[in-house]
Chains A and B, each alone.
Chain A
Amino acid sequence: MNTSASTLVQGRGIHKAFGKHDALGSVDFRIEKGRIVGLIGSNGAGKTTLLRAMLGLTDFDGELSVLGMDPRTQRDQLMERVAYIADVAILPRWLRVDQAVDYVDGVHPRFSRERCMQMLAKTEIPAKAKIGTLSKGMVAQLHLALVLAIDAELLILDEPTLGLDIVYRKAFYETLLGDYYERERTIVLTTHQVEEVQHLLTDILLISKGRLVLDATMDAVSERYTEVMVAREQLEAARAMKPISDREVFGRHVLMFENIGRDQLRSLGELRTPGIADVFVAKMTEARA
C-alpha cells in the first residue's frame, strides 16, 4: 500500500456480508487530508456500512486504516480524533441542551465549550430545553454545534440533513463549510440530495450495490464527463460513440460521454458539464445494466 502522509483513510478489499447478501463487495478507496468527500449511492448501496466500518461500528474483512489506526481494535482512541453524526442522528429526547454540552465537554478531551456556545448563540435553541421539545432542524443544529466544537481531524456525516427543510439544510451546509475553511479538517458525507452538496465537495465516491463505480475529484469528474445536446440528425453518429446515458428532454436527446475529449464531441451539438446527480444516475444505470 503506498500510503502517503496525506492519506487519512485507506481501505483495501473491504468486504462485508449480511448473511448471503454482500453489503460491500471488495472496496478499495483512499481519502486524502483536507478533502470534502461525498459518498454517494442509493439506498442499500453500502454507504452506511462503509462509514460504520470506518468508525469501528461494524466488523468487516479487508484492510482499513483510519488516521493510522484499525477501527476494529482501536475504536476508542479513534473516536477522540473522529467526529460523527449518524444518519439516524439521534440525540436522546430526555437530555437538556446544556446537559448535552456538559456531557460532551466532560468526556471529550478535544471539545471546546466556548466554540460550541458561540455556535449555539447563533441559533434560537433555548439552553435549558429538553431535546425532545426541539424541532428536527434545531436538533440537527445542536448536533452540528456539538460535533464541530470537537477538534476532530476527520468529520463523518451520514445523511446529516435527512428530514430537514430546505432552510435548515442550506444553513447546515453553510455552517459546515464556514468551519471547514476555518480549520484543517477532512469531511466525509453522504446524502440523498446530491445537488445541494455538489458545490462543496472536492471528491466523490459513487457506490452501487456494494461496489465503487466512481472515485474521482470533482475537477476530474467535470473533465471526464460531458453532456451533449444532440441534434436529431447527429443522433446515430453520437450513439456510435457509446454514450453512458441517453435521455430525451423536451424532444431533444441528451447524451453523456465518459472520457471522450470535448473536441471530438463539439461537432455533435451543444456541450455542457453534467451535474453530479446526472453522472450518478448514469453510473447507477450503467452499473445495473
Chain B
Amino acid sequence: MSSKAFATLIKRELWEHKGSLVWTPIIVAAVLALLSGWLVIRGAYEIGNSPEFHLDGESVKIANVAAKLNSMTDDERTEAVKAGLTGLKVPFDLLMLIMLPFYCVAALFDERKDRSIYFWRSLPVSDWQTVLSKLATGTVVYPAIILASAAALQLIWMLIATGLSWYIGVSAWSTVWAPSVLPWFWLSSYIDYLLLMLWIAPFLALHLALSAATKRPLVIAVVLPLALMLIEELVSGTEYIGQWMADRFIGIAALIWGDMQELADAGEAYPFARYSHGFEMLSSGQLWFGLALTGLLLAGAVYARRRLQDV
C-alpha cells in the first residue's frame, strides 16, 4: 500500500473522530489559556505598583525575588522551568490516557454497528492496513495533537513568564527561555509518549480486538480485567494478573511524570537528554512480552474484522 493510501486511512480516522481527537485537546488548551489569562490579570490588579506581594500570608519583596532568581544556577533554572512545563502538560496527559481507550474500543465497532464496514471493505484496503491505521492514529498522530495543544498552552505561559520577568526586573532570556530549551522539551515529551504507547500497547490492542469481535466492547473492556483477576484469585489464590496490570499503570506514571517524582525527591537535575532515561525501558523483558501480546491481539482484531461483519 502506498504511503498516500495509508495517510488517507489516518485522515479518515481524524474525520470520524474530529471531536474527540482534535477538538477536545484544543478546547482544553483554550479553557486553560483563558484561566491563565484571568489569573494574570487578577494578580496584576492585586499587586499593582506595590514593591511587594503576599504569598501564603507572607510578604514577599519583589527585589528579593529578583535577587533569588539571579542567584539560581543553570541547572536549578532548568529544573524549575521544566517542572512548570511538565505541570502544564499534565491535564493533556490525563486527557490522552482517558480518550485513548474510548477511541480504541470504538475504532472497529462503530463501522460494524452502522454497517459502513461493507463500504470500507469494498475498497482495496486490507484488514491489517485498517487495523494498523487505527492503531497508528491513536498512538502516533493523537499524541502529536495532544502535544501541540499542550505546546500552545506552554507558549502562552512562556509569554506570561516573560512579562513577569520584565516586571520583576530579571532577564527573561536567561531566566525562562534559555533554560526551557523548548524544542528539546517537546521532542523529549513526544518520545516519552511514543515509549508510553509501546508500554500500554497490549491494552490498546485488547480494546481494538474487543471492538472488532464483540457486541459490547466497552463493557467487556472494563469487566474482562476484573473478571480475570477474580478468577485467578479464586482458582489459584494468586494475584499475578492484578500485579501485572498494576505494573503497567505504574509504568505509565514513571514514563510521563518520572521527572516530577525526581523533583519531589530532590534528585539531581540533569539536562534535557531525559529521553535516554525512558529508553532504558527497551531493555525490559516486560516490554517485549507486552509487545508480543499486542501482536497476537492485533491479529485477533484482523481475524475478527474479516469474519464478523455485522454487530
Contact = CB atoms under 8 A, between A and B. Distances in A.
Interface of A: 55, 57, 75-77, 79-80, 83-86, 88-96, 99, 102-109, 143
Contact of A108 (B11, B119, B124): B124
Contacts of B125: 76, 79, 107
20 contacts: A57-B121, A76-B125, A76-B126, A79-B121, A79-B122, A79-B123, A79-B124, A90-B119, A94-B16, A95-B15, A102-B8, A103-B8, A103-B12, A104-B123, A105-B8, A106-B4, A106-B7, A107-B5, A107-B123, A107-B124
Contacts of B15: 94-96, 99
Given A96-B15, A106-B11, A88 B122 contact: no
A-B pairs, top 6 by smallest CB distance, nearest first, are A106-B8, A92-B116, A86-B118, A79-B124, A84-B122, A80-B124
Contacts of B111: 92
Interface string B116-143: 1011011111100000000000000000
A88 B115 contact: yes
Contacts of B115: 88, 90
B8 A92 contact: no
Contacts of B121: 57, 79
B119 A86 contact: yes
A91 B116 contact: yes
Given A76-B124, A76-B126, A92-B111, A107 B119 contact: no
Given A77-B124, A93-B114, A57 B309 contact: yes
Given A90-B116, A91-B116, A92-B111, A107 B9 contact: yes
A62 B7 CA distance: 38
Contacts of B4: 106
B21 to A, nearest CB: 13
Interface in B189-236: none
Contacts of B119: 86, 89-92, 143
B257 to A, nearest CB: 35
Contacts of B122: 55, 79, 83-86
A102 to B, nearest CB: 7
Interface residues of B, number: 23
B109 to A, nearest CB: 13
Contacts of A83: 122
Among B114, B115, B119, max chain A CB count under 10 A is at B119
Nearest to B7: A106
B64 to A, nearest CB: 58
A127 to B, nearest CB: 15
Given A104-B123, A107-B125, A90 B11 contact: no
Given A83-B122, A88-B115, A93-B114, 10 more contacts: A55-B122, A76-B124, A77-B124, A79-B125, A89-B118, A92-B16, A99-B12, A102-B8, A107-B5, A107-B125
A79 B12 CA distance: 19
Nearest to B17: A94
Interface string B84-111: 0000000000000000000000000001
Contacts of A106: 4-5, 7-9, 11
